[in-house]
Amino acid sequence: MSDLDATTPRVFLARHGETEWTKNGRYTGTTDLALTPYGITQVAGTARQLVGSGKLIDPANVAHVYVSPRLRARQTFDLLFSSNARAAGDAAAGGVPPLATEKVTVTEDIAEWDYGDYEGLLVGEIRARRKERGMDGERPWNIWRDGCEGGESAEQVTDRLDKMIAKIREIQEPCINNGGKPADVVLVAHGLILRAFVKRWLRYPLDDPLPMMFSPGAIGVLSYKNHNVDEPGFYVGMALPMTELD
């Protein structure tokens, strides 16, 4: 049985494009940075290649989109869907219709990890500050295990992501093997929270040593093995649908 069967819903993870702090690795949680010009180019390129009628993310197959309220995520959503739809034209002209308003939710549930006192710092700076205060004598600070002072703990992040996953499964479970009713879900958010989401989707604790990389402007894909909502999985790779050449 193929895992690429279109009757199995997918969850697409869309990371926002580059910001000024993305470039130098600063922890960016609540700080509302805009995309850089290059970040806009990153997302626009992803939209052109992967979003549209007959493409990997087909708006006609999307049941819901959850968007982080941060500016960089909202800009990314607009580039992926709204701008893409306007550029393609209306449905009557053979273009891609915009998503219905009721299919889009801007929510803190998928906002970036709240870094609290560590906002705007580099990993080395955080570890140095903690060391100066006599912390982490036996092992270096690790956000997946230790969380952030003045911000969120790993347990708090786990709780809110598990609630999001429950919402998604409520949408998708009735649509598995029902003749192909569209039920794809898209999350437009941030690098760390989306990697945390992958761990929770796979039912791993956040401190599980699962090394992942997620480039700005990139798309990740999750789904279910064997058309079974109790077998969440991720795509190591997948073939893209064939589209007409420009």
Q: Do residues 171 and 183 make contact, with C-beta atoms less than 8 angstroms apart? A: yes
We report the CATH number of the domain holding residue 101 as 3.40.50.1240
**Residues forming the annotated binding site?**
28-29, 72
Question: Does position 139 have pLDDT exceeding 80, yes or no?
Answer: yes
Q: Where are the beta strands (DSSP E) in the chain?
A: 11-15, 62-67, 104-106, 184-189, 219-224, 232-234
Catalytic residues: 16, 112
Output the pLDDT for position 246. 47
* pTM exceeding the 0.85 threshold for the entire prediction: yes
Q: Which distant-in-sequence residues (6+ apart) come within 8 Å of 133 by Cβ?
A: none
Annotated binding-site positions for substrate: 28-29, 72
Overall number of domains in the chain: 1
pLDDT of the residue at 244? 58
Helix (H, G, I), strand (E, B) or coil at 151: coil
Backbone angles phi, psi at 187, to 5 degrees: -110, 125
195 token code pair: 């990697």
Res 11 pLDDT > 50: yes
Joined together, the tokens standing for residue 125 give 């700076």
* CA dihedral sign, ordered 214, 15, 56, 9: positive
Does residue 182 lie in a domain region?
yes
pLDDT above 50 (res 196): yes
Quick one: pLDDT at residue 83?
A: 64
Distance, in Å, from the CA atom of 38 to the CA atom of 52, rounded to the nearest integer, reads: 22
Residue 242 has a pLDDT of 73
Question: Could you report the per-residue pLDDT of 198-240, keeping only the tens digit for each?
Answer: 999 999 999 999 999 999 999 999 999 988 999 999 999 888 8
| pLDDT tens per residue, range 91-127 | 444 445 667 888 999 999 999 999 999 999 999 999 9
| Residue 242, in any domain of the structure | no
Q: Is residue 241 part of a domain?
A: no
Residue 20 in contact with residue 33, Cβ under 8 Å?
A: yes
Residue 2 lies in a domain: no
pLDDT of residue 179: 61
Distance from C-alpha of 13 to C-alpha of 56, rounded to nearest angstrom: 12
Distance CA 141, CA 137 (A): 9
Q: Is residue 246 part of a domain?
A: no
Q: Which range marks the domain in which residue 36 is found? A: 11-234
